Amino acid sequence: MKKIAFFILLSVMSTFAWAQTAQSTMIEFNKMKVPGVIVAITGYDAATVQAALLARMERIGGLKGTNMKGFRLYSGQVFTGFGNTKYDIYTRVIPGNKKNPEVIVNLLVASETFVSPTTEPELTQRMTDFLTVFANNFLKEFDTNQKVSAHTKDLEKMEKDYKKLVSDRDKTKSNLEKQEKAVSAKAEEIAKIKATLGSLKQ
């Protein structure tokens, strides 16, 4: 029992060790450093992270965004995860590189000024929680669904191709049978003409 409990504890500790936790920091925006929240994500490419973030903010969150200076801006809109107040919300996905493959997600929220842990600690905590859940739960679910959808489409295409091949085979087989019957009929006709010619020659 002690061994089982030890392995369970080890598994839980390992899960927390690998969890990707968001944190408050200063982010470069419009050539200035402003307060925001970031999370570093491993195991996913930037395109997948970007697609997942767009889905979370726009398809699920209902926001309408525009591109602005490398960020995705949701201007003067309510995002339920941050409360019922209208904010300017900025997101940015920074790809990794060979030296550091981590994908970085930036999140900025502003009303009159950018939200910071000092001015609005509760909202900053909601931002941190949002990115942490996004990185550890939503992204994984999104990626799995995308892969399942892609495999489903591949399977549907294979089934369609298979049905077409079977149909083509049946048509070819049918045409072949017709051709064989035509050849057989011609052979009989040739045999009759040959016999007639033989009789006439005699």
pLDDT tens digit string along 158-202? 767 777 776 777 777 788 778 888 888 888 878 888 778 777 777
Could you tell me if residue 28 is inside a domain? Answer: yes
Q: Which residue range is the domain that position 46 belongs to?
A: 19-143
CA pair distance 200, 195, nearest whole angstrom: 9
pTM: 0.68
Could you tell me if residue 24 is inside a domain? Answer: yes
Q: What is the DSSP letter of 40?
A: E
Residue with tokens 């049918």: 174
DSSP letters, 56-110, are: IIIIIT----EEETTEEEEEEEE-GGG-SSEEEEEEEEE---SS---EEEEEEEE
Could you tell me if residue 192 is inside a domain? Answer: no
pLDDT tens digit string along 36-78? 999 999 999 999 999 999 999 999 999 999 999 899 999 999 9
CATH of the domain at 127: 3.30.530
Could you tell me if residue 175 is inside a domain? Answer: no
> How many domains is the chain built from?
1
Could you tell me if residue 36 is inside a domain? Answer: yes
